[in-house]
């Protein structure tokens, strides 16, 4: 039995209404997301709050107590392009993701490697640069050590900063060695300089810089990076507007060559040394 013309028209009209309702609902959801976005809150208060911890030369204090470093430059440029003031929120690394999740700050710009376990808790931007872990050793304690396997014995002590990819690299590369972790990288460096450890794993270029600063005590038996890690800006989940803006900004400043210039200044020169020593 063929459906009547009026029935067909009724069905088509009902489908048309459903499409209109669905479109309106989608627009309402989109508008609600925009209203709830952290980006909207930042613009309304005129201040961007950025969380970070101190890593040389990512973020550190100069002689006057002012924070400087690669990530400080990134945060400053981001706030400037957004047209808001920058509020820096120093935060201990081991609690930095919980601090982001509880709203202590808006973005985490602090040299955080993009990892799957971390992505369970936060959104990551696209990478804005790559880094890696490298190794520096004590000349006397590690005398004659020339390859990584020399450090993978029960008699060897490896130091690194807790909760970082340096710790993960130490556990993966030197499972047989003793491993000691510290809340701050300078503590791990001091442990190595005092001869209480054979080697330190840390973000490049720190190990190489420490070897240059302390040629009588330290050396690099292996100069190549042990890992290659993408670094991203972290933000709370559920905010596509902010994530879209962050990714667009990264594409812009990378295309300009600005990120590359700042990276070269902080990681490939020591022109900034007089500001902190």
Angle at 103 between CA 130 and CA 244, to 5 degrees: 50
Structural domains of the chain, with CATH: 38-130+230-275 (3.40.190.10), 133-219 (3.40.190.10)
DSSP symbols for 199-225: EEEEETTHHHHHHHH-TTTEE-S--S-
Above 70 in pLDDT, residue 33? no
- When pLDDT is cut at 50, 70 and 90, the band that residue 269 belongs to is confident
3-state secondary structure of 89: strand
Nearest of 130, 101, 98 to residue 113 by alpha carbon: 130
CA atoms within 13 A on the CB side of 220: 20
Distance CA 142, CA 155 (A): 11
Above 90 in pLDDT, residue 7? no
pLDDT digits 0-9 by tens, 104-163:
999 999 999 999 999 999 999 999 999 999 999 999 999 999 999 999 999 999 999 998
Q: Yes or no: say if 94 and 106 are a contact pair by the CB < 8 Å rule.
A: no
Above 80 in pLDDT, residue 24? no
Nearest of 29, 34, 68, 30 to residue 52 by alpha carbon: 68
Other beta carbons less than 10 A from residue 65's beta carbon: 6
For residue 245, CA distances in Å to 33, 149, 233 come to 14, 45, 12
Query: Considering the chain, what percentage of its residues have pLDDT values greater than 90?
Result: 79
Distance CA 14, CA 61 (A): 65
Nearest of 65, 159, 67, 165 to residue 111 by alpha carbon: 165
Q: Pull the structure tokens for residue 190.
A: 């001091």
pLDDT digits 0-9 by tens, 205-260:
899 989 989 999 999 999 889 999 999 999 999 999 999 999 999 999 999 999 99
pLDDT of residue 106: 97
Distance CA 57, CA 270 (A): 10
pLDDT of residue 5: 63
For residue 271, CA distances in Å to 34, 57, 58, 266 come to 42, 11, 14, 8
3-state secondary structure of 61: strand
- When pLDDT is cut at 50, 70 and 90, the band that residue 268 belongs to is confident
pLDDT of residue 176: 97
- When pLDDT is cut at 50, 70 and 90, the band that residue 18 belongs to is low
The length of the chain is 277
pTM above 0.85, yes or no: no
pLDDT of residue 34: 43
Q: Pull the structure tokens for residue 195.
A: 């001869």
Above 70 in pLDDT, residue 184? yes
- When pLDDT is cut at 50, 70 and 90, the band that residue 10 belongs to is low
pLDDT digits 0-9 by tens, 63-101:
999 999 999 999 999 999 999 999 999 999 999 999 999
């Amino acid at each position: 039995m063929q459906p009547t013309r009026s029935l067909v028209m009724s069905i088509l009209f009902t489908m048309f209404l459903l499409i209109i309702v669905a479109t309106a609902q989608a627009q309402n959801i989109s508008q609600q997301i925009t209203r709830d976005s952290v980006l909207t809150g930042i613009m309304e208060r005129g201040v961007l709050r950025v969380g970070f911890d101190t890593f040389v030369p990512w973020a550190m204090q100069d002689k006057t107590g002012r924070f400087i470093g690669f990530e400080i430059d990134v945060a400053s440029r981001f706030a400037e392009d957004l047209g808001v003031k920058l509020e820096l929120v120093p935060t201990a690394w081991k609690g930095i993701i919980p601090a982001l999740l509880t709203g202590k700050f808006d973005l985490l710009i602090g040299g955080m490697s993009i990892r799957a376990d971390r992505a369970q808790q936060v959104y990551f931007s696209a990478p804005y640069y790559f880094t890696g872990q490298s190794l520096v050793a004590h000349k006397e304690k590690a005398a004659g050590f020339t390859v990584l396997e020399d450090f993978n014995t029960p008699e060897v002590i490896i130091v690194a900063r807790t909760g970082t990819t340096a710790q993960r690299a130490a556990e993966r590369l030197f499972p047989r060695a003793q491993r000691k972790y510290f809340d701050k990288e300078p503590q791990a460096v001091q442990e190595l300089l005092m001869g209480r450890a054979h080697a330190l794993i840390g973000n490049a270029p720190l190990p190489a810089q420490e070897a240059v600063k302390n040629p009588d005590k330290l050396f690099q038996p292996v100069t190549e990076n042990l890992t290659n890690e993408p670094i991203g800006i972290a933000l709370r989940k559920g905010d596509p507007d902010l994530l879209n803006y962050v990714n667009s900004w990264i594409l812009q400043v990378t295309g300009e060559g600005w990120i590359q210039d700042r990276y070269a200044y902080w990681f490939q020169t020591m022109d900034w040394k007089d500001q902190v020593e």
